[in-house]
Structures are given as structure tokens and as C-alpha cells.
Chain A
Amino acid sequence: MTSISNRILTIFGFLAILLFANAAISQEFEPENGMHDPKNTTYVLTGCKIVVSADKTLPIGMLVVRNGIIQNVGIVEVPPRDAVKIDMKGFTIYPSFIDPYTDAGITKQKQKPWNPRPQINTLKEGPYYWNEAIHPEVNAYDLFSSKSFKDKDEYLKLGFGAVSTHHKDGIMRGSAALVSLSSHPTVDNIIKAEVANHLSFSKGSSRQSYPSSQMGSIALIRQFIYDAQWFAGLNEVHKENISLKAGLENLRLPQIFGLTSKLEVLRAAKIAKEFNLQLIALSGGDDFERIEEIKASQAKLIVPLNFPKPFDMTDPYASRFVSLADLKNWEMKPYNPYLLHSNGVEFALTTNGLKKKSDFMKNLKKAIKCGLPKEEALRALTETPAKFLNVHNELGTLENGKIANFIVVKGDLFEDGVIYENWSNGDRKRFKDVGRADLRGEYDLNLNNIVYELHVEGTVEKPTASIHVYEIKTNSAGISKMDTTKVKCELEFSGLQLSMMFETHDENYDGIIQLNGSYHPGLGIMDGSAILPDGKWINWGGIRSEKYKKKKETKKEVKIDTTSASTLKFPNMAYGFEELPKAETFFIKNATVWTNEEEGVLENASVTIRDGKIIAVNSGGAPGGATVIDGTGKHVTCGIVDEHSHIAISKGVNEGGQAVSAEVSISDVVRSDDINIYRQLAGGVTASHLLHGSANPIGGQSALIKLKWGFSPEEMLLEDSITDGFIKFALGENVKQSNWGSFNTIRYPQTRLGVEQVFYNAFIQAKEYKKAWSDYYKMSDSKRKTVNAPRKDLELDAISEILDQKRFISCHSYIQSEINMLMQVGDSMGFTVNTFTHILEGYKVADKMKAHGAGGSTFADWWAYKYEVKEAIPYNAAILHEMGIVTAINSDDAEMGRRLNQEAGKVVKYGGVSQEEAWKMVTLNPAILLHLDDRIGSLKVGKDADVVLWSDNPLSIHAKVEKTFVDGMLLYDWERNYELQERDALERKRIIKLMLDAKKGGAETKAPVMRENPHYHCDSEGH
């Protein structure tokens, strides 16, 4: 912490005791040019309503401010005599807002120029961390410049009095500074120099190739924290590292994570939990979609109000580009604050993400209409951010001793209120004059005894005037009558001085009359001098005849409507559930049942499931309460297990930045709202092995999921104490970057020869690492204190797990030479390759695979897409199987994942494998390869009720999935598909109508766009 903030804190402490103490903070130290300026004026704001905090309002009171600090609030019997009094009658004082997430006054980092060659190492010289996206040593107070703070007035106009600003770039961004928005020099405005530590998953301007994925960012953050902790514990340090030191220091601050979606909040919460940190997450505004999980994570949120614009849905064809997910997103995002509040999640609000800051109030009012109570809106803008930033003793409410950060408002701030003044750090910024005289009314103007009627209307700030000229006119018939003509009158009114000019052509004056005069507000009188049309000066006077009558405005009641908040689906998109399904009891009868067990295929048989498990196979009748499904002519199987899938993954399937990335894990980035989950249920898949891509020899850890559509990533993950971990390895063209263009020739390895060495290198390191730790643990406590602990290395941890047989390899592989190689590495280093995946030349080394003990998971018929698959043959699976190798057929492709049954059918064609054995290749065999065959992969009593009802033999072209059960829950139903489509079509129509209404109401619209789903395979175009 810097000396300045220490000073400030000391001073606040001091103030708390001695309220009248004078503290002109920095000026105490700075030599003054000219006379001493004590800057200790006291102000008393009187006669105003004071909103002390979200929970406390004084209907009328006084506010005493001295030297930028609130001295007294409420009924002040004897205001200080030397105080400047300001009459605030009719106004309301609110604490001003705090934005906890900005980059105010900090120039954005320019994106470094594009270079097609990868940058492996950091280019930042000095005692810093090895990765350019990690720069905790950056302090916002060093970068902040009042000159760059271009939108300060916008913040003030919106009612903000302080903002926390940080360098919005990179993964570990450094510390934020809390800045008040007064016109004082920056030295006086920094309320707290280091107020929070900022992190994100986005590497920003760094061009270093690592990390290239979100899971890489997650691993990097974790590794950095371990490194920093380790560094701090070293007994001897021979090298300085500023990043590690600053990073550790910063962990004592509030931890603010810049995130973009609800799932990222959960991911960050997982990291926070690991290091026992309290997470404060800048959310994506879609938290309501996973509210239960977010609540349980105990994350605190900083919530943006950047509600999406409605789409222009005029063209029915173009409107199809907008998914129901995006429509619902548009509809429901304004309900996010309300839903967070009603679920008890603590949150602050931010302007972050708004394209136009001026939309802030508009959107906040929208959130209020959508159910957010006004006092909670205030709390989220004042007390909560103050609490988050640990400055609740200084800011957030109007209490004695706090900084005088408040706004003066006419009306209700959250309805029609207008901000007149914003006091930040005691510095008064006026947008409107609270003491301005109201000139409005009707006056009799006397100009040399000629009387004109003056009407002043408009607003207090901008009065407008007109003159009514009375004339008696006689017509040709000799009849006289009084005539009134209204003429426009120019009016300028400033202070108490006014000038007017009007043109008249009546019986008295003909031409322009210019007037100047003074206004006497108490009396309603004006007087002064004027020049008549003939150029003569006269004196004039005016007396108010009528007071200004305000036109009666029918005050619109703010309608609170939260009905849309209950239209949430799981997931909140097409085919989402209104209510999450539960495991039920089903009895499927009269079906052909493929058991995958000794019983084989049973005709006219039944399967019973209850409580998520298979409780009977062809025995007994329907249990009580069971839903009976007639399977006559149909087939029942266990669910398909896809050994090699890349669906349901967020932000990158490859951490290709380095040759070895064992530290990253797909289970950190499971994306539960990928429509492909639903589509694969429609293909009978119930479990998938989500693999890292094949960009590097040692890729990342994989995730095993059940395709539990509607549930959260954690609920989908099949990871518990009894599941084994898996990791992706890869060989060949992808890892040597053969098909990545001519610029990617830098990263090691570039040949198969290098690939082998990468493996040896990694396993030798892992062995040394294991030894270092075991030696360390063997030491006596006293000895241990005298030596440096080994550095915890997440990468080597994962590789060590392979050696310890806690983590198993699924290796992307094609040609025989490299398959041979890895088995030799394994044999000599003491591990077995669990599964060769793809393994298209497995048939050439099947005998060796058998001897090594590896399984194979292959494509049914892929080949010729790159050079290394030139000798791939569709008979591969048949040969592997015949050689006694556990053989699976996988997809590696979201589309093919829907038709793995057909792919299994091809194994019957190519090589004549029996139907039962072919079927096992997409069910039992992958389950065996994943060490899950005790839970899934066959229809056996006690196994998970992952069951599929097919219209026909599942291997035949006619097979359609009619029903898919996962853990006993009916998650997919062919018939229901059409119902859901109709439901979704109506839901779309309902929201499109709302969008149309919004458009009519003046909302800006945007052209329909489609959000494309990432479609990963590890093999397309060499990635």
C-alpha cells in the first residue's frame, strides 16, 4: 500500500474522533504558490430530504460538509456560524454512486500489430512473470491521468461520485484505484490507491501464444497463484520477481474478475474456492440463467446494465437468424437485477459494457420496472460497491465522517428525478441552479403607461415569454372591438437580470421594443429601461398579476411487471425444459432388448428403471407408479457413449500455445447450453468424453459428462471419487503443425522425431518432480524449514498422475510409427496408453497394441483428409476387435455424434463384425475404455438408467431415437420434439411482439444476427 493511501486512512481515522479537524490532505505538503488557501469552507445544505442510505431516509434535514467530509447529517440545532448556507428546499440528497468496474482515465492498451508467426516467449524484459498476460505489478494509480479521463462529466451527470479504475487488459491486470470525481488535482482524488485486484480470462493485448483458450487462462491463473505463494515461501531468493510479489500482495485485496457469462462466473468461483478468496465477479448480465448455482457459489456480482437492443424482426426469413436463446436473452436481461435480489445474491451495478453511458439511468429504470426495488437499486450503486471495495467506512452512505459524495436531486431519482448537483469529495459540481429564481407567471408590463401583458412559461431554467397586445379596432362598418394579438418575446434571464425584445405594430408603438431590467423575486416585480421603436429610452416596470400555474401532469405510476421473469427455461433456449426433469419409474415392455451382457439380445423383453438406475432387465412387471411404454417392434439399448467428442466446450478446445499443456482441463470449461447436447440425445448419446484438441503432444485433461440437457456443467460432469481422470495426448501432423501454414514452424516439435523427445522430456521431468516432492515430505519438519519446497507445477502434477495410474491417456494417433513410439515411451517410462483414439493405422500394429494393453477408439470410415490418413482403412475396427483389443467407434464431430449408431452399422459392413459386437463399439467398449463400465455401457441391473428406445434395430438405417433417458430422466422424446417446436414458435412470436412494441416505443433496433455455435473437431484443418 502506498504512503498516500496510508495517509488518507490515518486521516480518516483521525476524523472519526475529531470531526472538526482540518485536513487539507496533500496541500499540507505541497508548497503553495501565492497565499495560503486553507480550503476549509463549511457548507450547510438545509431544508432537504436526505436519503442517508438504502434503508434510511430523513424527510427533512440538514447536511453539514466541511473540507470534503460529512460532519453532520439530520437535525442540526446549531449549524456552524462560519458555514455557507445553501437552501435546498424541495430537493433530495442521495449518496452518490460508485462504479466498481471502470478503466476511467486509463488509456486502452493498443492491440499489438498482427504477426502470423507465433510468439512463444515474453518480450517484456525485466523481473516479471513469464507470461505477458500476467502483470499484477501494474497499478492503476500509476496509469491514471485526469487528462485521459474524458468521460468524467458523464459519470458526474449520471450521479457517480467515485469510480474504481483499472488497467482493463490481460489476465492478471494489477490493482485498481478508487478515484473520486472532484475537480481537485488527482493527488486529492485518489481515495484508495490499491482498492482491488483485477483478473480476467481474456489475455488482451498479449500476443504470446499461451494461453490460447479459456481453460488455459484458468490454468495460468492457478499456476501463477501457486507460484506466487511458493516464491514468498522461499528461504533463499537469488532472483527478484516483481510480478510474483505484487501478485501475492494483491490477493489481500478484493478480487474482481472481469467475466462475460454465467458459466464464467461459476468457473471463477471454482478458482476462488481453491484459493479461499472471496470472488467479486463482473457478470455477463445473464446470471439468472444459472441463479441457483451462482447463489451457491457465494460469488458477489458486479452487474452490467447493457441490455441488448431489440432485433428488427420485420423479415420473417431474416428473423430466423435470431435464436430463441437470443430473444429470451433480450427479454430477460432486464430482470437480472431483480432476480439476483430476490434470490439473495449480493450485487453492485456498473456502467461497464454500456456503449453509451447515458443509457445507464434509462436501463436502471427499466430494471426497476422489471422488479428491482428502488432501495436495492440505490444500495447496488452505493453501499454494496463500497462494501465490495472495502471502503464502506469512507463511502456509500451519508453518515458522519464519510466523504462528502452526494447528489442533489429534484424528484425521485429512480423515477422522474433530475440531478441538479453532484458533490464529489466535497467539490460542488452544478448542472442546474438550485437557487434560481422562477420568473414564470403573468405580468402587466407598463411602458410609458401603455400596458402589455407578459406571459412567462417554460421551465425554471429556460423560461420563454410572449407578449399580448390589446388593441381596439374599428372595422369598415364602424364597429369597434377589443382585439388581442400574441407576439413572441425574446427573453434572456440570468441571475436576476433579464433582457427582452419584441416587435409590435399597434396603435401606440410600431416596431421593435428592447428592454432590460432587474427581477425582484420576493415581490414579483421587474423594472428597468427600454428603447422604444423611435429610439427613445424610457423606464418600464412590470408587476406579476398571476402566479405560474403548473399544468397538471398526470403522474405515471411506474408499473412493476415481473411476469417475464418466470418464463425461464433450462437451458434458456429452444428445447429447454420449463422445469428440470426428475428421475422417474419407467417400464418398457415387449421390446427387443440389447443387453450387451451375456444374455445378448432379448426378444419381447422388458427393462425397468427407477431412481436413476436399471432395476430389472426382463424380469417382473411394472412397478407401482411406473410409466409403461410399449416397445412392440422397437429396440431398447443402453445409451451411446462417445469416446471422442468436442461438443459443449467454451472458448477453445485446444491449448495449443505450448507443446505440453497437461495443466489445462476441459472440465473447467463445459458449456451446458450447447444445443449439440440436445441433438446428440436425439442420436441416443447419453455420455461423452470431451477431449482437448490435438494441437500439442500433451494436451489437456478431459471431461466426462452425461448429456443432462438443462442441467449445470457441474451436474453434467461425471467426476467423482470413483471416476478416473483422462488426458489427451496427440501425435503426428497436428502436433508438428504440418497443416498450419508456413508461419507455424517455430513451436517445438516440428517432426515426429521431436514428438518422441517431448514425451520423454515430460515424463523424465515428472519423475524428478515426484521424487523432489517425496524427498521433501520425507524430511523432518525442522529440516523442511531450512530448504526450499519444490514448486507446485500443475502440468507435472497431471503427468505424475499418469505415472501414478490416476490419470489415463487417450492419444490421438494415426500412423503406425508413432503409435509404436508412444507405446515404447510408455513401456520404458512405466505407463500404459489407455486408449489410442482415431488410431487409423492401428490395424498395422494391432499385435503390439495388444501386447502393450492399449484400447482403440476409431472412426468407422474416415480417411484421406490428410497425408497421415492415406492408409486408413474402414476395416480397422474389425481387425482391432478380432485381435482382442477393446475397440470403440467415436465421432470427434458434433454431427456424426448424432449418428454413431450408423457408424457402428458400418463396422458390420466393413469386416463383418457381428451386430452385437458392433453395437458394443459405441456403448460398452467406450465405457470400458473410460473405466465406466461398472456404471454404464450395458443394460444390467444396478447400472445407471441411461437407456434409449429405438424405432428399429439401432444399427440399421431406419433406426430413429424415440426416447432417451439419462439417469432415469426422460430427456429426449421424438414426439415431444414437435410439441417443443410449436411451443418455441409461440414463444418466439410472443417475444417478437414485445420487440415490435419496443421498436414502436422508440427503441433502437439492430439487424438480426445468428450466433454461431463453435463446431470443434480435433482434426479439421489440423487444429
Chain B
Amino acid sequence: MKLIFTISLLFAGLLSFSQTPAPIEMVHNKVLIQHGHAHIGNGEYIDNSSIGIEKGKIIFVENALTNAIVESEWDTIIDITGKHIYPGFIAPNITLGLTEIDAVRATRDFQETGSINPNIRALIGFNTDSEVMYTVRTNGVLVSQATPRGGLVSGTSSVMALDGWNWEDAAYKKDDGVHINWPRKYTTTGWWAEPGPTKKNDKYVEKRNTLWDFFRKAEAYAKVSKPDEFDIKLEAMRGVIQGKKRLFIHADFAPEINDIIDFAREFNIKLPVLVGGYDAYLVTDRLKENHFSVIIGRPHSLPKFEDDHVAVYYELAAKLQTAGVLYCISNAGDMEVMNTRNLPFQAGTAWAYGLTEEQAVASISLNAAKILGVDDKIGSLEKGKDATLFVSDGNALDMMSNEGYMAMVKGRFISMHNHQIELYEKYKKKYGLKGLE
């Protein structure tokens, strides 16, 4: 029997603290995680769970009380009594890994010049050695959708594990979809310190037409498998037109969303995803009819209209849940990279404002996996899926009790260390502080 009590002990010898932690090779073939409060991700909950992992895949998720086990069959048995186990949380629509320090231009790799850039691939810039990333996964976020920004067509995103030797190694799903920044009908005026009133965007129709024209071309182009002349941008659209890749359309307000739905209908977009969707709750019927799912904007945002209810953003998830629209929660916005680690608390807030606990878990796990098209591999603690999971001492959606205990990506244990913890230890030692954890 190889019962492991503290994971940190296990890894203490493996890590060199002065650099970002290295991915840990899988040395454990069969791992059994026992007695955790399991939040499956699909809405279900097992209070005392028994989760079996073999060769990186989950082979069963059972109730520990009824699941008889033979200890000798397992390389490693981890008892997590009293702790919570979750599927690794998924942060959609984020530039994590694409930028390190917001204000340092040299570290910003998410926005190319030009306005139509479907061929731009976010995963190319995905830095697996990002220090920020290591502070994110310790809170349970283990997968992100690395997403480019800017322009009308920003580029192509990829679903990435927050662990790997390089981007190829980290990629969960390469080039999962193309992102469109839908033009806004109203544009802002003034400057940040003294914003003027919004203005009707005179270029709205022109920009919308640009998108329509581009999609018309892409549609025509995709009909031929070997075109006479290779068009690198249209080629990048082929998967979207053929319904193999997702189309993520970023917009917040109902007038634009309605145009987007018309657009998606016209081009027969199979997998349309609305990103942002501040007003999504106003048009749920149309969204459902047209098979839209929604990645909702950061719940910890101010209401966009002065007259809106103070909790309008907190309650958005619950409204979409009630309406039966498939949605997940994102954390995009100001300083989003470092803020990705707060994704569990975004979901927690949605829990406080109307979701059930398991719905809140789903909103950053299985729902996100479905929307990004990776639910065959991740997103829930279910048989056959990757062991990409997270164990927290307490409830992970509450900042008071979110305390990373261990995590796995594709069945590999990942380091729960980061340079912030290292600095913490260093200065605790300097001051001889004992009282702190």
C-alpha cells in the first residue's frame, strides 16, 4: 500500500523553486482517489467518492461506501477525506499564456495588426513557462481557451492545458474555433478620464457588410477542396464553414446579438457561440432556436447600464440556466491574465446569485468543455475522460476555502507550487514568522 498523505511532501524533492515548475512525468499508473466530496461537473455530486485513474484516464467514479476496492491493485491511493474534488476548471476566452505583464508590450502576443485575421493562431504564442499560469492552476483552473484579440476577425483559439513542456504538449484541442468581434452599434466617445456619450456607430453597417462579404467568400472558397489560388485567410475559415470548427462571436447588446443570430442563420453556422452576451437573457428563445451557446462575460463586472440592477451580472448565469441556454462563465476583461485564478469565485458569485452549487461547478467545467468541444476528454469526472482534476481542502468556489491540495492534468500530477508561494516562504523565513500557514 502506498498511501499518500501530503502531496506537497511527495513533490518537495522534485522541484527547483527558482523557476517555473516543470511538468511532472507520470510515474503513477493506477491512482485511486478516495473519500473526496466529488463535484462531478455534470450537475451530480458524490459526497464520499472513489475515483479510479489508470493511464491518465478516469476508469470509474463511484460512491466509496459501495465501491469495494483492493488496495494492492493501485500504485497510489490518495485519501482526501473532507476535501473536495473537481474536474479541472476551464477558462474560456482568455489571453492567459499569451501575455505575461499587461503593461510590457514585449510580453503581449494576442493581437495582430489588420482586421481580418482568422489565420492567426493563438496557441503559437502560448507560453507554458508563464509564471502567471502557475498561480492560476493552484486555484483549480487547469485548462484555458487561448484566445486572440482585436480586429473584426481576431484569429483562431486553441484549448490548452495549463501544463506542458511546450504548446504542442499543452494543446488540448488545436484551433478549436475562430473569433469575431462583432462591431458595436454604438461607440464610445471622449477618453477614459472623461468619457463622452456613446455615439451611433456610422460604420456599423459597413463593418457588418465586411463580415458578410468575407463569409460569402469563405463559403464559396470552402466548396472546392483544392482551390486554384490558395488564400491563407479563407483557408482558415474552411473548418468554420464546414461546421467542424466553432465560431465565437463577441458581442454584448441585444441589437447586435439579433444581427449575429441572423448572420449565423444565413451562413448556416453549426456551432455558434456568443461571447460576452450581457443581454443574452433578453433573447434566450432566439439563441436556443438557433443553437447558440454563450460564454458569458466576467460576472465581477459593473452593470453596463446605469439603470440596471446592481446584481445584473451576478444573476446572468442563473437567468440563462433557467432559460435552458447552454452557457459557461469566462473571466475576460481588465487584467484578465492574472485574474484567471479568480474564475472559481466568478462561478461562486453566480452560485450565490441563483445557481445551485453543482450548476456553478458545471458553469466552469462541463458546460465550458461542451462549448469548446472538448467534453469528450475533459470537463467532468466521468469514466473515460482524462484525469484532469483538482482537489481543494475546502469548497473551491469560495475564496475562503479554496485551497489547492493536488491537481492532475491528463493523469499527471502537477506541481501545486508557484513563485508566489516561493516568495512567501522566503520572506516568512526572513522574518521568522510562524503563525502563518
Chain A residues within CB distance 8 Å of chain B: 213, 315, 317-318, 320-321, 323-325, 573-574, 651-654, 675-676, 678-679, 682, 733, 738-739, 843-844, 846-847, 861-867, 870-871, 873-875, 878-879, 882-883, 894-896, 898-899, 902, 905-906, 908-909, 911-913, 915, 955-960, 977-978, 981, 984, 988, 1007, 1009-1016, 1020-1023
Contact = CB atoms under 8 A, between A and B. Distances in A.
26 contacts: A317-B254, A321-B305, A325-B306, A679-B310, A847-B431, A866-B102, A866-B104, A867-B101, A867-B103, A873-B423, A873-B424, A883-B433, A895-B301, A905-B398, A909-B400, A912-B437, A955-B400, A956-B400, A957-B352, A957-B400, A981-B307, A1009-B200, A1011-B196, A1011-B198, A1012-B197, A1022-B103
A870 B99 CA distance: 13
B400 A895 contact: no
A867 B102 CA distance: 8
B305 A323 contact: yes
B433 A865 contact: no
Contacts of B195: 1011-1014
A788 B399 CA distance: 63
A958 B345 CA distance: 10
B403 A324 contact: no
Contact of A864 (B132, B190, B279, B307): B132
A883 B305 contact: no
B349 A957 contact: yes
A83 B131 CA distance: 96
Contacts of A862: 335, 338
Given A862-B335, A867-B103, A912-B436, A1010 B197 contact: yes
Closest 3 interchain pairs by CB? A912-B437, A866-B103, A957-B348
B101 A957 contact: no
B338 A846 contact: no
Nearest to B196: A1012
Interface string B345-358: 10011011100000
B259 to A, nearest CB: 11
B260 interface: no
Given A317-B282, A977-B309, A871 B197 contact: no
B363 to A, nearest CB: 14
A66 B423 CA distance: 92
Nearest to A915: B400
Contact of B193 (A574, A653, A847): A653
The DSSP consensus for interface residues of chain B is: loop
Nearest to B283: A317
Contacts of B437: 911-912
B333 to A, nearest CB: 9
Contact of B423 (A846, A871, A1011, A1021): A871
B337 interface: yes
B428 interface: yes
B324 interface: no
B427 interface: yes
Contacts of B67: none
A702 B22 CA distance: 47
A958 B314 CA distance: 12
Contacts of B104: 866-867
B319 to A, nearest CB: 14
B430 to A, nearest CB: 8
B186 A864 contact: no
Given A909-B400, A957-B352, A1013-B195, A865 B306 contact: no
A841 to B, nearest CB: 9
A729 to B, nearest CB: 20
A908 B400 contact: yes
Nearest to A738: B103
Contact of B302 (A574, A654, A679): A679
A1021 B341 CA distance: 21
A115 to B, nearest CB: 16
Given A733-B103, A864-B100, A867-B103, A1014 B433 contact: no
B399 A1009 contact: no
A957 B305 contact: no
A913 to B, nearest CB: 8
B229 interface: no
B82 interface: no
Contacts of A873: 420, 423-424
B289 interface: no
B101 to A, nearest CB: 5
Contact of B402 (A865, A909, A978): A909
A906 B102 CA distance: 23
A844 B399 CA distance: 25
A861 B423 CA distance: 14
Nearest to A952: B352
Interface centre among B102, B311, B337, B399 (most CB of A within 10 A): B399
Given A957-B348, A959-B352, A573 B306 contact: yes
Contacts of A883: 431, 433
B307 A984 contact: yes
B199 interface: yes
Contacts of B243: none
A874 B302 contact: no
B215 interface: no
Contacts of B43: none
A652 to B, nearest CB: 5
B300 A899 contact: yes
A501 B262 CA distance: 64
A906 B310 contact: no
B302 A895 contact: yes
B193 A1023 contact: yes
B185 interface: yes
Given A865-B338, A882-B435, A977-B310, A1010 B423 contact: no
A320 B308 CA distance: 9
Contacts of B135: 863
B397 interface: yes
A1011 B349 CA distance: 28
